[in-house]
Amino acid sequence: CSRWEEGKKEGGVKWMQLEHRGPYFVPLYEPLPEDVRFYYDGKPLKLSLATEEIATFYAKMLDHEYTTKEIFQNNFFHDWRKEMTPEEQEIIQDLDKCDFREIHKYFVDKNEARKALPKEEKQKLKEEADKIQEEYGYCILDGHREKIGNFKTEPPGLFRGRGEHPKMGMLKKRIMPEDVVINCGRDSKIPEPPEGHKWKEVRFDNTVTWLASWTENIQNTLKYIMLNPSSKLKGEKDWQKYEVARRLKDVVHKIRAQYRKDWKSKEIKRRQRAVALYFIDKLALRAGNEKEEGETADTVGCCSLRVEHIQLHPQLDGQEHVVEFDFLGKDSIRYYNKVSVEKMVFKNLQLFVKNKDPTDDLFDQLTTSFLNKHLQRLMDGLSAKVFRTYNASITLQEQLKALTNPEDNVAGKLLSYNRANRAVAILCNHQRSIPKTFAKSMQVLQEKIDAKKKQVEEAQEEVKKAEDEFEDTKDAKAEANVEKKKKLLKRLEEQLAKMNIQATDKEENKQIALGTSKLNYLDPRISVAWCKKFGVPIERIFNKTQREKFAWAIDMAGEDFEF
């Protein structure tokens, strides 16, 4: 039996033995050298240590777009002033009069110097980091030495958030041992806090899988130190996730029949649930949780859509019953889509928006927990997010079947794989901003292609010349020359084709993030089976980190695996 299938535990117990060193705390602040100064209103001003440290957070970000945003500046200045001495508060009253440029330059130079270190110096730094990793980066869990994911506490700094987050620029405080709850085995060696400190609390809770936790001060959410994705515990959890999605495959037709019936229900609440479920199933929307206003960026999911987020078009671009979605989803990524829906869905939506203001909820009688309770009744372990995993994985499998040509070379097969992966990323709306280096690297590739084209044209000329010569002389030497020239031409044409594939792939991929779905939504066994079946090395699909995370799948899946 493989280590993935060893020893299931009962009653919510996740482990019997857990021993670790506790988190690694980031080093304390080192004051700036005397000659690196902060200026206020054009005059140098010596800051107290705490105030100086926070000033460096802002200084480091001077060339970042964040520091140009008013909300970031206001939040930063407000939090910074709270940490100042009364004398400093008296003087520093206007952010515009603060000059951080000298501090900024100091950190830029320091960074450059680190990059320019000789090889042996870099090696020494790497060895120091490895030593910390060895000491703090592993734990003993049920007799196995397992790697820990994030064993360091997050350094203090300014909160960034994603999208237009209302709290950006606020001060993220330093995590101290006094903030940290330790979780370990009752009979293990309890980790020692750093000298002169003590832990907030030590727990022995074997129904959870975290090793340490603390509350971060900005969102007031709990942060955890967890095991690395490659660990047995995480691998099992990952595998279970895809097994639940595979079970959905057997009942999904029943669920679809049910929600279609509910579109005509006498209860408006059931109709809303049925339409939301249709969106979650058909469009792979996230369910969307209820959240506090003003606490987070204004982002929504399916259940929290407002009337202003959709427009209904009886006719549009030659299609009927078109719903036009436009809203900010998770991480403030815009979701924009025009979808032709079934007539009953359209009629229900017209009913749901009737007599409502733009800011009213579209599904005013629906909560995510009401939806999930219903799904749990339909299938054990089913929640809205399982649909996303299921639809992503099934799409990858179907697209791979449709797109892969067994006759293609590896480059051709990889293009097909990436296209299948892109179909999933588009379904899940995984976007990225076009990389800054995109135009440059595309131009370099295009220049290579142009040069290769020229070589092909020259080779074609050569073949023609050789053929003419053979026509004239009919001798064996001339015939061999024709073959030689043809061979060269074929090789150059193959190289050109490969480059063209690369360019196509790059262009199609510039605004799409493939990694998110690969890591979180696609059953890795589908990819492993595809690689085995078509003779593509697994390294061409999964990088080292992904191969570690998906060790369970590489272990388990043969070429005949069906999701």
| Enzyme catalytic residues | 521
Lookup: tokens for 186 = 């009752």
Q: Give residue 493's identity as a one-letter amino acid code.
A: E
- State the virtual CA torsion across 426, 274, 244, 428 in degrees, nearest 10: 10
| Number of residues that this document lists for the chain | 563
Compute the C-alpha angle 427/279/514, nearest 5°: 15
CB-CB contact of 79 with 156 (8 Å): no
Q: How far apart are CA 42 and CA 512, in angstroms?
A: 46
H or E stretch covering 462: helix 438-473
Lookup: tokens for 392 = 């992503």
Output the furthest CA–CA distance in the chain (Å, rounded).
Answer: 100
Q: What is the DSSP string of 488-525?
A: HHHHHHHHHHHHHHHHHHHHHTTTB--HHHHHHTS-HH
Residue found under tokens 């990389």: 435
Q: How far apart are CA 492 and CA 49, in angstroms?
A: 64
Query: Coil, strand, or helix at residue 155?
Result: coil
Compute the C-alpha angle 334/339/340, nearest 5°: 170
Q: Closest by alpha carbon to 153, among 130, 115, 127, 182?
A: 182
Q: Give residue 270's identity as a one-letter amino acid code.
A: R
Question: What totals of helices (H) and strands (E) does the chain contain, helices first?
Answer: 17, 15
Backbone torsions φ then ψ of 403, nearest 5 degrees: -100, -25
H or E stretch covering 338: strand 334-340
CB-CB contact of 87 with 45 (8 Å): no
